[in-house]
Structure 1
Amino acid sequence: MSERGGRDYNEDACGHWHSERYLCCVLADGAGGHGGGDVASKLAVSHVLQGYAARPAHHPQLLEALLLDTNRELLAQRAANPQLRNMHSTVVVLSIDLQERHALWGHCGDSRFYAFRDGKMQQRTRDHSLVQSLMDAGLLDEAGARNHPKRSELYSALGTQGSDLQISVSQTPWPLAGREALMLCTDGLWEWVPDGEIATALATAPDPQAWLNDLGERVRLAAVDAPRHDNYTALALWLGAD
């Protein structure tokens, strides 16, 4: 699911690649003037998928290296085109070894990965953002974060130079041992749909597309008084127990 929301154009992008053994899902949310956000998100998705297809990055160091290389590509494109000098993008990547049945993920910015097992949330990435740091310090709860005036202020995104870049990668494989529902999404979705509502929608959904359709409807209802609300994009994957 990828919708424009209340914006003039969609700066989100997503995609996936798989072989017989490996699956890679990636999602990005771009920003930057003169169409730079649209370019940045598409560049991030295509570079991750091309790099993963050439060498499946199903190892923490390989996944981190792939994201660092994607950042270098974004910086190179910025340097080559003055109109794109302000472009940057969040990114979240999910890697699955279908043979060994375990998952790894990595991200930069505030696009998220969620993992539910038997309907209960087991994993969720932590944003590289101001409000996440306030929540970690106990100064803000989830409801307060959604209304914070600086909720969109990121500490890191692709297109960042040097030591200011923050990339987080899961360090141990997560076994896919039960009934898993996995989702990657941009902040245009989770900003309007709390984690509890994501789980509620999952509980009544017969399939992953129905889950996303429900979440999209929840975004539209919650944002009815915000006609300029952000693009929202999500990619969902369900795995059975057998």
Structure 2
Amino acid sequence: MYYCCGVTEKGIMPHNEDALLINGSVIDSGSSEQTAEAPFLAAVSDGVSGERSGELASRMCLEMLRDKGVSDISRLEADLMDVHRGLAGYSESDPETHNMQATVCGVAVDADNRIFTFNVGDSRLYRFRGGRIRQISRDQSLVQLLIDEGAITTEERRTHVHRNIIFPVLGNVKSAPQIDITELAGGMEYGDLLLLCTDGLSDYVSILDIEEILEMPKSMKTRLHLLVDKALESGSKDNITVIAIVYTE
């Protein structure tokens, strides 16, 4: 059994280009809280900045993914490619949504409670265990490539001139995305927490601050709202979306 809680907030932006999926629910405003049994999906999606109809792209991305379900984990990559083609096809049919795109980062829990992570873009997945947080996903971005090559440090990521350049994501009409899918090593233990978030949170809240807030003796919904508040206090100029998944038994 898993407890899932998510919050999505437009922040200082005029509209929300983020959305979240928990089990069968896709929302782009407010919060969602539920208990889920395997199999299920949870994911966050961020409409790509600078592309038209980002808010439509993120919601459509998660709705199409939800409708695919998780009955056959071996089809996960094919399902995500179907979502990519669906977004691209829709955008090519309407000049108002031309080249709309979206990131996606999530977890798929199969009927045997195996957990698979998937990622396209720079939204993130962390695992919180024993009071410490570790990033599980790998950003598909130019600055991550520069970090891997040793050209810049992790601390320089936030202010780098090319920090907003990411590799092709779902819906890109010119290039197919690279879909990262991995079974979560070690799975989840009792009390573990998986944290999914868009870059409106991860770019502005430090690992230490995330750990401190998640350790607080408060409800999960309150802790997630505190993470959102921390991002806004730290100057986040983006939408902010976060999901917590806790293994309960």
TM range (shorter): 0.7 to 0.9
Give 1 or 2: higher helix fraction: 1
1:237 is matched with which residue?
245
Q: Could you state the TM-score of these two structures normalised by the residue count of structure 1?
A: 0.87
Q: 2:80 aligns with which of 41, 49, 67?
A: 67
C-alpha distance after superposition, 1:204-231 (max 9, x if no partner): 24332122122112112111xx6xx111
Point out where structure 1 has 5 or more consecutive residues left out of the alignment. none
Contact preservation (8 Å) 1:117, 1:178: no
d(CA) in 1 for partners of 2:68 and 2:232? 35
Q: Could you state the TM-score of these two structures normalised by the residue count of structure 2?
A: 0.85
d(CA) in 1 for partners of 2:212 and 2:205? 10
Return the offset for 1:163. 5.6
Matched residue count:
232
Instruction: Tell whether 2:14 aligns with 1:4.
Output: no
Change (3 A) 1:205 1:85: farther
d(CA) in 1 for partners of 2:199 and 2:172? 19
d(CA) in 1 for partners of 2:211 and 2:109? 22
Point out where structure 2 has 5 or more consecutive residues left out of the alignment. 1-6, 25-35
Return the offset for 1:20. 4.5
Cα RMSD after superposing both structures? 2.2
Please give the secondary structure, in 2, of the residue aligned with 1:184: strand
Return the offset for 1:199. 1.5
Return the offset for 1:26. 1.7
Instruction: Tell whether 2:91 aligns with 1:91.
Output: no
Q: 1:166 aligns with which of 171, 175, 178?
A: 178
Change (3 A) 1:156 1:8: same
Most deviating of 1-10 and 38-47: 1-10
Give, as a single letter, the amino acid of the residue that structure 1 aligns with 2:71: P
Q: Structure 2 matches for 1:92-241, cutoff 5 A?
A: 92-97=105-110, 100-161=112-173, 164-171=176-183, 174-223=186-235, 229-240=237-248
Moved over 6 A (4+): none
